[in-house]
Structures are given as structure tokens and as C-alpha cells.
Amino acid sequence: MILNIAAYLFTVIDDADALAQRLREQAAHAGLRGTMLVTPEGLNLFLAGDDAPLRSFLAWLRSDPRFAGLHAKESWSDVVPFARLKVKRKREIITFRREQASPLQAGLRAPVVAPQDLARWIAQGHDDAGKRLVLLDTRNRQEVAYGTFQGALTLPIDKFTDLPEALAPHRDALRDATVVSFCTGGIRCEKAALWLQHDGMDNVLQLDDGILGYFEQVGGLGYDGGCFVFDQRVALTPQLAAVATTGDANVQKVA
């Protein structure tokens, strides 16, 4: 079986170009495929390979104190769902182009809700203080088509940078709710929650580790369908099994 990991970490990287080269060399030596984004604000990784080499690569990466806290969400597949290894140098680990949308700028993370706590809120229909719960999907419409949380607020966007304008008409209606932003693995909902708090919405939380973390820790409670992933498996069930396959090696380019 092939181990697949999705991971990200916000951390200051002053040597992004040199680090990208080292990551490429180490991953190639381990026989890994996938995509790694290296930016001044941190790393975003989607990798697959044999179990032991991939875990050794992660151990090597975490030996750098900057990445000691990197948490990888795991799933398994029969074959490697990436065509090749790509290491990209970017400005952001997910493009948003908004100030105060990174914990490095804001000085702290947006408040989080753990998957187990969100599952309890979904089951009871409100948060622990009795406030109305609204789940905010920060992904694009192509991803949402594969599945989302039941009753979630979804937006007709094609890229993450469109979210602020698409959400604007809904903001007044959300003032009395506890809003939990979510995405595939946590990056977009973290950035969205931070930016929205900076922009005056103090009732926004982020789902820690995103949908994949929820599937890993809770399963599918309150979720309909699968979760789109950025590889040839296309989408995963709440049991983290592939629900579709494709030969399109460029599917991971969707943002």
C-alpha cells in the first residue's frame, strides 16, 4: 500500500530557494511523488510513496526546528496518485492576497474547534453556549460538488481569492452565529478565519486540520459525499478511501 500525506505549517522561511532544492533532493532520493510548495510563510505538502521512505523524509524535515510541529494527515492508496514530483517556490502556501491572513502577520492562529467538538456541535445543533452553528465552506465550487457538510454555507467561487466578495452579502446574517470555517486540510479555513476576524467578524473559528482531519478523527458525521483531493484519486470518502479515479495528472492544479 502507498502512504499519502497532506501537511502544512506556517513558519518563517528565510531560505526558501535553498530549502526547495534540499526538499527536492531528499524527496527524490526517497522515491516520493507529489507537490511541495515552499514559501516565505511556510510549507504546503501533498506527497505519496512507500511507507518507510515517506516517514523517514518527514522525520528528516522535522529535524529542522522550524518544522518540528508539522502534522501530516494520512490516507492510503493502491498506487501512487501523482504522476511526478514537483517542488514549487511561491509567495503564499495558498494564494489569498489579503493582509492579516497569516498567523505570522497576525501573531497568532485563529481560534480552532477540534473535530470531536465540531461533531458534538453538529449532533446537538448548536455550540456549547447554545449559539446557532454555521459551517462555512471556503473551497471552490468544483470541490464542493464532491461533498460538504450538511447545511453548510457554500459560495459560488472558482478560486480562494474570490471568497471575501462572495461572502460579503451573508455577513450580516451570520452575526448571531458561531461560524466554523473549513476546507480540505486546514490552510484556507485558517487564512479565511484570520482575515475575517481582522475584518470585524469575531465569531469565526476554524476547523482544526480541515475535512481530512475530521474524517481521520471522527468519520463522516454530518458530512454528505466525499472530499475532493488534489491528486488522481479525485475524492476521498469519510473512511479515507478513494471514491473515483482519473488519468488526469493535472487535477492537483485546482486551487
What is the percentage of the chain residues whose pLDDT exceeds 90? 92
- Alpha-carbon distance of 77 to 184, in angstroms, equals 18
At residue 250, does pLDDT exceed 80?
no
Distances (CA, A) of 106 to 54, 100, 190: 32, 5, 12
What domains, with CATH codes, occur in the chain?
A: 2-89 (3.30.70.100), 103-253 (3.40.250.10)
Task: Give mean pLDDT, residues 182-208.
Answer: 97
Task: Give mean pLDDT, residues 23-34.
Answer: 98
Spatial strand order in the sheet of 85-89: 71-77, 2-10, 42-49, 33-39, 85-89
**Max Cα-Cα span within the chain:** 52
Three-state secondary structure readout of 188-231: HHHHHHHHHHHCCCCCEEEECCHHHHHHHHCCCCCEEECEECCC
pLDDT score, position 244: 56
* β-bridge mates for residue 180, sequence order: 135, 205
Question: Is the CB of residue 229 less than 8 Å from the CB of residue 210?
Answer: no
- Alpha-carbon distance of 173 to 176, in angstroms, equals 7
Name which of 251, 254, 237 is nearest 77 in CA terms: 237
Q: How confident is the model at residue 161 (pLDDT cuts 50, 70, 90)?
A: very high
Q: Which run of H or of E encompasses 112?
A: strand 112-113
pLDDT score, position 107: 84
At residue 142, does pLDDT exceed 90?
yes
Task: Give mean pLDDT, residues 224-240.
Answer: 97
At residue 172, does pLDDT exceed 90?
yes
3-state secondary structure at position 24 = helix
- Alpha-carbon distance of 73 to 203, in angstroms, equals 27
At residue 245, does pLDDT exceed 60?
no
What does the pLDDT look like over 48-94, one tens digit per residue? 999 999 999 999 999 999 999 999 999 999 999 999 999 999 999 99
3-state secondary structure at position 110 = coil
Q: How confident is the model at residue 105 (pLDDT cuts 50, 70, 90)?
A: confident
Output the average pLDDT for the chain. Answer: 94
Which of 36-50, 55-69, 149-163, 238-252 has the least mean pLDDT?
A: 238-252
Q: How confident is the model at residue 252 (pLDDT cuts 50, 70, 90)?
A: very low
Q: Is 183 tagged catalytic?
A: yes
- Alpha-carbon distance of 27 to 69, in angstroms, equals 19
Q: Which residue out of 183, 189, 205, 236 is catalytically annotated?
A: 183
Cell 492544479, residue located: 253
